[in-house]
Structure 1
């Protein structure tokens, strides 16, 4: 019953889920998808693996879309699982929109770079096929390390320093080394992560410039 002259009580609006909960569910779902794909890949005799990035081949461009979802075997996928869960979750804390845009930039730009230089260091006549989420993981890694230094936000700087301390040695994977490991994909993913961090920190950098402009002394003539 409503009392005349008084508005009815407002109905509660939809409850917004915490960012960490949405981010965690998103990353777990993504990694679960990688396992579903690997199960199917094993059941079909690893036919999916041929859809990776084949450098400088026109049909190899499709690998840019599929390569981060494919892995050569269970050991390859398991090795990527931990970093994907941790770094991917930390990425979502910068905001889901930024996470999606950053992932898209790393996915596409890093993949295209791999397509361009993926045959570097390979023996003459040997065709390479690059698959795995490690390029994406390297992009997330470098994004987290440098993003705070672009935004100048303390908590993001702290996250970057911690990530550098814990995972910094992984960056050695951008150097030529172990046969069968796509250092080209690691390198291009890492570069794409820095590019994504710079582009997506634009609002903070612009706001910092506006504050500097407004704080500049005005001199009369």
Structure 2
């Protein structure tokens, strides 16, 4: 089992999400500081000019409340993405932006669609369905945590609130599900215990031999072994001494 198959923490797990969120805040600071408005660079559906928003819209936000509500879950979810699915994390982020943005361009209303909420829905959807498909307790636990934290977001994939791009949310949800299906086999494989292997013999397990069939502990006394004293052979070797011609 190679290193890619283990859940490992590294500096990139935190550094990449921080860097991504920092860029979003720098763009917003630039707008406020110099009094410019980048909303026109968002996704404008079914127009050639509006295609530029497929790439640029996740970095553009309308106000401080908008950017705050987007960057917090974006940081949490992208950190989980890099921790549990690092080999495919960049693919999910990059193609998630492109595909969800393009779907928004296809089905959206004639208005500027801005914000990173589409990407957030990609991550929520991907993390949830990927954990379900993986059938591994850590990833399922992550899916349940995502549902607990962001489950209410499902209502915003339909037009329930004016001024909210439900088309972008729906596009992100669909994209995340497609990614979970496409990357279904690319998951971190957990370490197997001894009893999970096919050639495991329960009768030879050194731990289980201390318990009977009902689960009661059996004290196994090791036979006493008489301590043998070490045998030391003392040998005397007589050495013949010869004198040389000088008598020494």
What range describes the TM-score normalised by the shorter chain of this pair?
Answer: 0.7 to 0.9
The corresponding residue for 2:59 is: 69
Structure 1 segment 130-145 matched on structure 2, within 5 A: 130-145=113-128
Give how far 1:58 is off: 0.7
- The unaligned stretches of length 5 or more in structure 1 are 1-17, 120-126, 205-214, 216-221
Distance in 1 (CA, whole Å) between partners of 2:168 and 2:35 is 24
The corresponding residue for 1:10 is: none
The answer on 1:35 being equivalent to 2:18 is: no
The answer on 1:98 being equivalent to 2:122 is: no
Larger Cα-atom Rg: 2
Give how far 1:203 is off: 4.0
CA RMSD of aligned residues (A): 1.6
The corresponding residue for 2:190 is: none
The answer on 1:159 being equivalent to 2:132 is: no
CA offset digits 1:6-61 (Å, max 9, x no partner): xxxxxxxxxxxx53531111111111111101011223433322100000001111
The corresponding residue for 1:85 is: 75
Give how far 1:196 is off: 1.1
Give how far 1:166 is off: 1.9
The answer on 1:181 being equivalent to 2:164 is: yes
Give how far 1:85 is off: 1.4
Structure with a larger share of its residues in helix: 1
The answer on 1:107 being equivalent to 2:97 is: yes
CA offset digits 1:123-158 (Å, max 9, x no partner): xxxx30000001000110111111012222221111
CA offset digits 1:167-211 (Å, max 9, x no partner): 11112111102111101001101110111111112346xxxxxxx
TM-score (norm 1): 0.77
Distance in 2 (CA, whole Å) between partners of 1:58 and 1:44 is 28
- How many residues end up aligned between the 2 structures? 181
TM-score (norm 2): 0.69
Distance in 2 (CA, whole Å) between partners of 1:66 and 1:97 is 25
Is 18-27 or 30-39 further displaced after alignment? Answer: 18-27
Give how far 1:106 is off: 1.5
Distance in 2 (CA, whole Å) between partners of 1:20 and 1:142 is 24
